[in-house]
A and B are shown apart, each in its own frame.
Chain A
Amino acid sequence: EVQLVESGGGLVQPGGSLRLSCAASGFTFSSYWMHWVRQAPGKGLVWVSRINSDGSSTSYADSVKGRFTISRDNAKNTLYLQMNSLRAEDTAVYYCARGAGRGYDYWGQGTLVTVSS
């Protein structure tokens, strides 16, 4: 059974940092591109970042470029999102999702990040 389990969310002050993790199981993690998607409270889905299967290529939404870094450890079957210089508008549930070249066929349950003083 494919599972994606996010962790690392929480309350952080503006300007602070947080690292999210997404533990993958039930599939060959190293064969898939992975993505982060976020959803602010009561709002829609926003694509954040993606990484290719071996970690050699990444891309970011303009709103997070230069502040967030996506990475992966294929030996640990884990995806990461390092978030720096956090702002109030980064407050959201963050989902990791498996990219299959045909949309996202599996999603995690999400982890809530709240940026507030």
Chain B
Amino acid sequence: EIVMTQSPATLSVSPGERATLSCRASQSVSSNLAWYQQKPGQAPRLLIYGASTRATGIPARFSGSGSGTEFTLTISSLQSEDFAVYYCQQYNNWPPKYTFGQGTKLEIK
């Protein structure tokens, strides 16, 4: 099973600043990596797929990069609505187990 590890567990950033979240896979997942945002009491929302493609309706301040085993989600100029928990997920087809990272909580500094 591919293990996804996110860092840091909690990130404190001031509004208007940049946030950088990391995700590492235990083996290569190519570019089969997605990022999700989840707010309390809500279902997750797809932000990024294919490691770097923004999903429909996602603002340009969200960007993803990386391939293989190392991935980054960057949020430039944080807005109040961006404070949430972020998860990465690999969807490599083999083995067919689509594991998530443990999440990074982005909180207001």
Residues of chain A at the chain B interface (Cβ within 8 Å): 35, 37, 44-47, 50, 59, 61-62, 95, 99, 101-105, 107-110
Closest residue on chain A to residue B53 by CB atoms = A102
Residues of chain A with a CB closer than 8 A to B99's CB: 47
How near does chain A come to B21, taking the closest CB pair, in angstroms? 14
Provide the bound-state CA to CA distance between A109 and B102, in Å.
20
Closest residue on chain A to residue B91 by CB atoms = A103
In the complex, the 3 A-B pairs of residues with the closest C-beta atoms, listed nearest first: A103-B34, A102-B49, A107-B43
Residues of chain B with a CB closer than 8 A to A110's CB: 43
Which of B45, B50, B100 is in CB contact (< 8 Å) with A45? B100
Provide the bound-state CA to CA distance between A24 and B90, in Å.
24
Residues of chain B with a CB closer than 8 A to A44's CB: 85, 87, 100-103
Provide the bound-state CA to CA distance between A45 and B43, in Å.
10
Residues of chain A with a CB closer than 8 A to B44's CB: 45, 95, 104, 107
Residues of chain A with a CB closer than 8 A to B45's CB: 107
B7-49 CB mask vs A (1 if < 8 Å, else 0) is 0000000000000000000000000001010100001111011
Please name 26 pairs of A and B residues whose Cβ atoms are closer than 8 Å in the assembled complex, sorted by A: A44-B100, A44-B101, A44-B103, A45-B36, A45-B38, A45-B44, A45-B100, A47-B99, A50-B96, A50-B98, A59-B95, A59-B96, A59-B97, A62-B1, A62-B97, A95-B44, A102-B34, A102-B50, A103-B36, A103-B48, A104-B34, A104-B46, A104-B89, A105-B46, A109-B43, A110-B43
Chain A, interface SS category: strand
Interface check B55, CB cutoff 8 A: yes
Provide the bound-state CA to CA distance between A109 and B43, in Å.
6
Provide the bound-state CA to CA distance between A47 and B91, in Å.
10
How near does chain B come to A27, taking the closest CB pair, in angstroms? 14
Residues of chain B with a CB closer than 8 A to A101's CB: 91
How near does chain A come to B49, taking the closest CB pair, in angstroms? 4
B78-95 CB mask vs A (1 if < 8 Å, else 0) is 000000010101010001
